[in-house]
Amino acid sequence: MNNPQVLKIIENLKGRRNYEEKKASKLGFSSLYAYIEDKILKIKKLEEAKIINESKKQEEIREEKKSEKKKSCSCC
């Protein structure tokens, strides 16, 4: 319970705290802290996956442009 980001989120829940606690217990988490921490980790993983996907797409675009330039005849 040392992550300040998790503590800040819990403090800002206010009226939604009871809802989030019920949801956490329903999903099998031992505490609201563990639930929020898991949510943060999932968000970080999704962001990393998006960055990786974007870089792969950019590489594919670069490869397509390179392959287009290698055409030797004007008929193709």
Contact 11, 36 (CB under 8 A): no
More confident residue, 71 or 65: 65
Calpha distance 17→41 (Å, rounded): 20
Per residue in 12-63, pLDDT (tens digit) is 999 999 999 999 999 999 999 999 999 999 999 999 988 888 888 777 777 7
Note the pLDDT of residue 10.
92
Of residues 75, 3, 72, 69, the one with CA closest to residue 35: 3
pTM, full prediction: 0.67
